[in-house]
Structures are given as structure tokens and as C-alpha cells.
């Protein structure tokens, strides 16, 4: 291949435009998920090429791309980045995806590459539990941080003069939802960029770029990859100066995904629609069963028609996630409940094919009651899971 053809291929792979010949914009989401990011078939080559383990690439003469050094580029990332781009922004030209070593690496890359001393940023007050640590670091760099809750579009009030609005919808762990399009329009009218943490929804549940956001940022550690065996993150955004700055941040911080993780993630995307549909349907069934229990208070699931989040969620989401949250009477009661579960592992994180749950207050980072439980619904048979949860409620009764 001539050097310019290689350059061109790398550029197209990086931009996520290669693969448009698959016609993936017009097909169903399951078809798109199983084919996302696959290279054109080559006789005797595997469908999804294996991980490329390389610190450096053969590079005689002038150092031109696409592949020079392993901190900048990797062919396994390129395929995954194309796949995520096809899911986050199907059919959109000029959109680019970058993968990172974790969701926090992706989040930090956007915040720290876009903001300067003297800028103001609006963060959710009820977002992911590491955001307060990020806040302290932003403030140490002279950036003004304003916070407001996700529900009721409360961040609107804090937008004047802000350079960036950070949205997490649905929020983790409270499952509040805000009107992304309304907030994005208001932010853009004031000249602010908009990023949405899309971790809980996954790109099959919500496509923030279509709702007006400049960046969709997510942890790939959760339901996107779904097996609880890797950490990963990504940023999808319009190509141009902003994404160039995100790419530069990845290079200077070196927060890069391992090739094995990237490959495992891509392999997992093939089952994304199957997992998400199964897990989310069971989450709704479980929420409906929990609604009947008098000892369960503060039940939240955006897919429940009477949930406070449902109206907005139904306008902007296509699926409502696999996380159900609720509160039991006390810390002791919640611990007994968690201990009595057989098919739900006591563990943090969410989105995996094996159900997990935890008393969120044990970390101390979220403003939640002591008996608050975040339960992530896996791919078990719905009857088994619901029966297990109801039995554990009975056995842990006060």
C-alpha cells in the first residue's frame, strides 16, 4: 500500500467513516451491533482481527501515520473506535471516537482538555461518585465549578458565563433524568460546550449527539461491555479542534486502553443489543414487583410509567437501563437483604450479565439514605431473579 493510501485508510478509520459501505445506517440496532466496526472481509482473515500488541510499528523514513507509536494509535483501538462511533452516531459524518483506559480517563480528558483557568463549568451535584474529586482538581487549576442536581433541569440556572455543561442522564445512582436537548440548546445559546455521560443508557438507550450534545462520554466498563472483566472509556464528538484537544490529552496523559481490553470490548459489542434488551426488560419486571412491596421506598426506574423520570426519559431514550434503585428501612436491613441474595452478587459497578447490588452509602460519596440499594439486573432468567429478590426481602424482614 502506498504511504498516502495508508494515511488515508488510517484517517478514515480514525474518523469512523470507513465501513459506511456496510450500509449500517439503515439496518436495525441488532444488526448494527453485531457488525459494528468490522473490517471488510478478507479471505483467510478472521472476522474480527485479534488484538495487536505493539509498542511501536515499523516506521522507516519520515514518521507518518496511521501507526507510529503505541501511545498514539493502535489498529485494535481503530476498529473499536469505529464500532462505538457507528452506535453513538449512526450515519453521521465528521464524528470521531477515541477510546481510553477507563471511563474516568475519558471524562477527565474532556474536562481537562477543554477548560482553562478562569473558565466556569457546570457539573451535576448528584453524578458519578468520582466527580467531587474531579471538582477539587479543576478548582486547584483555577476553574470555577458550579453544581446543580440533574432532576428538573436544575443545571439551567447555573449556565450563564459557563464554558462547559456536564450532564449525567440518567444519573448514577439516583436515576434522575434531565431534558438533554433543552439543556444543550440553552448551553449553546450561551456559547458553552455540552458533554453527556452516557454510561448508564449505553448508545442503544440514548444518542446524546442527536440530542444536541457536543460529546458523548462513557465508561465502557459497565453495560457496554457487560461482563465485568475490563475497564474502558470513550469519547465520541464532532471532529475538529475540540476532539483534537481530547486526542492530545490522551497522548500527554497516556490514558490508553490495552489492546486486549479494546479487543474484548469490541467482541462484547456483538451481543450488546441482546444483553441490553434482556437486562432492561428484566429490570422493568423487577421494578414492577418491587413496587408492590410495602418495605420498599424511593423505588426508581426510568422505565416505570409513574417514575418521576419517565416523561423526559421516554422522549429522549430508547431503552431505560438495567439499574433499579430503592431504599430499605435501615443500613442493617439493607445489609441483611444483600446477604440473603443468591443470584445477585454483592459488588459495585453495574451493567454486567451477572446481577450485582450494593448499599451505595457504604462508599460515603453519594448523598443517599443508609438503606439505599443500587441493583444492577443481569441476564439471568427473569423468574429466578425476581423470586430471589422477593425471597431475600422476606428473609431480611425487620
Ligand X SMILES: *Cc1c(COP(=O)(O)O)cnc(C)c1O
Residues forming contacts to ligand X in the complex (CB under 6 A) are: 102-104, 107, 128, 168, 172, 197, 199-200, 219, 221-222, 231, 233
How does DSSP classify residue 152? G
Report angle CA 206, 291, 172 to the nearest 5 degrees. 35
Residues 6 or more apart in contact with residue 164 via CB below 8 angstroms: 111, 114, 115, 119, 121, 122, 192, 193, 194, 195
Residue closer to ligand X by CB (options 18, 168) is 168
Residue closer to ligand X by CB (options 33, 104) is 104
Secondary structure class of 217 (helix, strand, coil): strand
Least Å distance between CB 345 and ligand X?
Answer: 16
d(CA 137, CA 28) in angstroms, rounded, equals 42
Least Å distance between CB 200 and ligand X?
Answer: 6
Residue closer to ligand X by CB (options 102, 271) is 102
Residue closer to ligand X by CB (options 51, 174) is 174
Residue closer to ligand X by CB (options 83, 392) is 83
Least Å distance between CB 168 and ligand X?
Answer: 6
Which residue in 66, 100, 107, 104 sits closest to 84, CA to CA? Answer: 100
Residues 6 or more apart in contact with residue 221 via CB below 8 angstroms: 102, 103, 230, 231, 232, 233, 349, 351
Residue closer to ligand X by CB (options 37, 233) is 233
Least Å distance between CB 372 and ligand X?
Answer: 16
Least Å distance between CB 106 and ligand X?
Answer: 8
Check residue 299 and give left, alpha or beta (phi > 0: left; psi -120 to 50: alpha): beta
Strands 356-359 and 120-124: unpaired
DSSP string, 333-370: HHHHHHHH-SSSEE-S----SS-EEEEGGGGS-S---T
Least Å distance between CB 109 and ligand X?
Answer: 12
Residue closer to ligand X by CB (options 107, 392) is 107
Distances (CA, A) of 117 to 74, 134, 136, 342, 378: 33, 15, 13, 50, 43
Query: Which residue's Cβ lies closest to ligand X?
Result: 103
Residue closer to ligand X by CB (options 178, 200) is 200
Least Å distance between CB 32 and ligand X?
Answer: 23
Least Å distance between CB 217 and ligand X?
Answer: 8
d(CA 193, CA 235) in angstroms, rounded, equals 14
Helix, strand counts (H, E) of the chain: 12, 12
Cell of 145: 465549578
DSSP string, 18-74: TTGGG-TTSS-HHHHHHHTTPPPP-TTS-SSPPP---SB----SS--SS-SBTTT--
Residue closer to ligand X by CB (options 131, 299) is 131
Least Å distance between CB 383 and ligand X?
Answer: 28
Amino acid at each position: 500500500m502506498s504511504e498516502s493510501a495508508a494515511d488515508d485508510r488510517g484517517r478514515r478509520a480514525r474518523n469512523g467513516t470507513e465501513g459506511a459501505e456496510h450500509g449500517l445506517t439503515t439496518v436495525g440496532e441488532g444488526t448494527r451491533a453485531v457488525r459494528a466496526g468490522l473490517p471488510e472481509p478478507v479471505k483467510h482473515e478472521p472476522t474480527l482481527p485479534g488484538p495487536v500488541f505493539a509498542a511501536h510499528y515499523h516506521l522507516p523514513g519520515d514518521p507518518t501515520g496511521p501507526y507510529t507509536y503505541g501511545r498514539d494509535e493502535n489498529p485494535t483501538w481503530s476498529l473499536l473506535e469505529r464500532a462505538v462511533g457507528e452506535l453513538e452516531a449512526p450515519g453521521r459524518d465528521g464524528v470521531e471516537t477515541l477510546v481510553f483506559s477507563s471511563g474516568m480517563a475519558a471524562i477527565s480528558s474532556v474536562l481537562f482538555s477543554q477548560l482553562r483557568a478562569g473558565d466556569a463549568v457546570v457539573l451535576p451535584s448528584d453524578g458519578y461518585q468520582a466527580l467531587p474529586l474531579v471538582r477539587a482538581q479543576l478548582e486547584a487549576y483555577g476553574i470555577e465549578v458550579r453544581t446543580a442536581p440533574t432532576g428538573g433541569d436544575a443545571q439551567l440556572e447555573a449556565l450563564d458565563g459557563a464554558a462547559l455543561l456536564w450532564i449525567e442522564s440518567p444519573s448514577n445512582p439516583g436515576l434522575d433524568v434531565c431534558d438533554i436537548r433543552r439543556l444543550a440548546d440553552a448551553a449553546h445559546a450561551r456559547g458553552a460546550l455540552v458533554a453527556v455521560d452516557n454510561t448508564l443508557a449505553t448508545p442503544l438507550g440514548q444518542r446524546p449527539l442527536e440530542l444536541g450534545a457536543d460529546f458523548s462520554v462513557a465508561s465502557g466498563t459497565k453495560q457496554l461491555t457487560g461482563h465485568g472483566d475490563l475497564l474502558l472509556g470513550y469519547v465520541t464528538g464532532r471532529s475538529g479542534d475540540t476532539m483534537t484537544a481530547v486526542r492530545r490529552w490522551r497522548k500527554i496523559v497516556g490514558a490508553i486502553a490495552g489492546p486486549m481490553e479494546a479487543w474484548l470490548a469490541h467482541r462484547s459489542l456483538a451481543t450488546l443489543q441482546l444483553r441490553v434488551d434482556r437486562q432492561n426488560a428484566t429490570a422493568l419486571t423487577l421494578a414492577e414487583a418491587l413496587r408492590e412491596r410495602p418495605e420498599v421506598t424511593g423505588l426508581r426506574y426510568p422505565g416505570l410509567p409513574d417514575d418521576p423520570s419517565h416523561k423526559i426519559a421516554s422522549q429522549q431514550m430508547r431503552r431505560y437501563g438495567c439499574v433499579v434503585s430503592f431504599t430499605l428501612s435501615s443500613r442493617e436491613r439493607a445489609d441483611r437483604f444483600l446477604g440473603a441474595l443468591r443470584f445477585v452478587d454483592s459488588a459495585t459497578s453495574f451493567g454486567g450479565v451477572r446481577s450485582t447490588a450494593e448499599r451505595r452509602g457504604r462508599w460515603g460519596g453519594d448523598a443517599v439514605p443508609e438503606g439505599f440499594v443500587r441493583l444492577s439486573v443481569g441476564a439471568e432468567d427473569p423468574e429466578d431473579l425476581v423470586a430471589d429478590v422477593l425471597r431475600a426481602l422476606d428473609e431480611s424482614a425487620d
